[in-house]
Amino acid sequence: MRDLPLALTMGDPAGIGPEITAGAWNALREEGPVFAWLGDPGCLPSSLPVREIETIEQAASVFRKALPVLPLALPASVRAGEPDSANSHTVIDSIARAVGLALAGAAGGVVTNPISKAVLRRAGFPHPGHTEFLAELCLVPGREIMMLASPMLRVVPVTIHVSLRDALDRLDEEMIVEAGRTTALALQRDFGIASPRLAVAGLNPHAGEGGMMGREEIEMIIPAITRLKAEGIDVYGPLPPDTMFTDAARAKYDAALCMYHDQALIPIKTLDMANGVNVTLGLPVVRTSPDHGTAFDIAGKGIAESSSLVAALRLAGILSRNRQKYTEGFLV
């Protein structure tokens, strides 16, 4: 078994991506995991040692001395904090090439720097975000599941990048079942948890209070839990969302299925914002990203914190190795 280099995308070059990439390389240059950055070296900090490479396989040989870069030229000059949609096609190309390297077995996984959905949308990008685009590139549209993971908590929102009103309209039993199946498999295959435990959040206050505060638990969530249990998955709930994230409650499960975006992301960002990592489940490749956005307001000021990107790279290395062991039939 060998550790393959990770492919790190450029992200929006006017955001904090270049700065946190430099910080991540400085933090990981001695211990790894090894990664190569796909982007225009001209937008990286001038103090950063950079080595352009022709193939990602060359990354390991230069990583300790310089950041390996697979160069992509930007058509427009970059000014920190001032995004330009003229550069969007190169940003998108960076993502597509990183996924291509992972699908080809040349990269151990994909780690994505933050993008601006609004900037890409102006250039005709049709996807709500990274997650949906990655699923399309991997030819598994609709099977993508978002997890936010940290040493303190793992959460999976069943509905993601839609308004709360739309989330309530879209949520159904089948979505919960699919999210539970995908999460359980990922915990085994990628996180190395032999017998994963899932907790399921209720949708309504007090998990519906037996139907007094809403019937979604009775008509949708409990039937989904029953089906998952019948498939041999260790799952329980629905739990009142206001009490399931305490220290004592979190000790009883390995991941929490939540019904909508903020129900999942508020607790993990409150508990462990610095170490939170976005993980896309349901793909044939490993993908992680930092749990924050482009931060245009502080870009170029030298104050961006790289801890979440460092955590994303470290976790991608672990997931890649675990998935390789699982695929080759080794217990993890």
H-helix or E-strand spanning residue 310? helix 307-327
pLDDT value at residue 251: 97
pLDDT tens, the chain, 332 aa long? 678 999 999 999 999 999 999 999 999 999 989 999 999 999 999 999 999 999 999 999 999 999 999 999 999 999 999 999 999 999 999 999 999 999 999 999 999 999 999 999 999 999 888 888 999 999 998 888 999 999 999 999 999 878 899 999 999 999 999 999 999 999 999 999 999 999 999 999 998 888 888 899 999 999 999 999 999 999 999 999 999 999 999 999 999 999 999 999 999 999 998 888 999 999 999 999 998 899 999 999 999 999 999 999 999 999 999 998 887 765 44
> Counting Cβ atoms within 10 Å, is residue 231 exposed (0-12), middle (13-18) or buried (19+)?
exposed
φ, ψ for residue 150 (rounded to 5)? -150, 170
Question: How far is residue 265's CA from residue 260's CA, in Å, rounded to a whole number?
Answer: 9
Report the alpha-carbon distance of residue 211 to residue 289 in Å, rounded: 38
- The answer to whether the pTM exceeds 0.85 is yes
Sign of CA dihedral 78, 84, 87, 88: positive
Q: What string of DSSP letters covers 77-113?
A: --BTTB--GGGHHHHHHHHHHHHHHHHTTSSS-EE--
Structure tokens given for 100: 């291509």
**Which of 94, 89, 85 is CA-nearest to residue 18?**
94
Judge contact between 290 and 130, C-beta under 8 A.
no
Alpha-carbon distance of 272 to 124, in angstroms, equals 34
The residues that bridge with 129 in the sheet, in sequence order, are: none
Whether residue 198 contacts residue 257, with contact meaning beta carbons closer than 8 Å, is answered with: yes
Structure tokens at 144: 């993508």
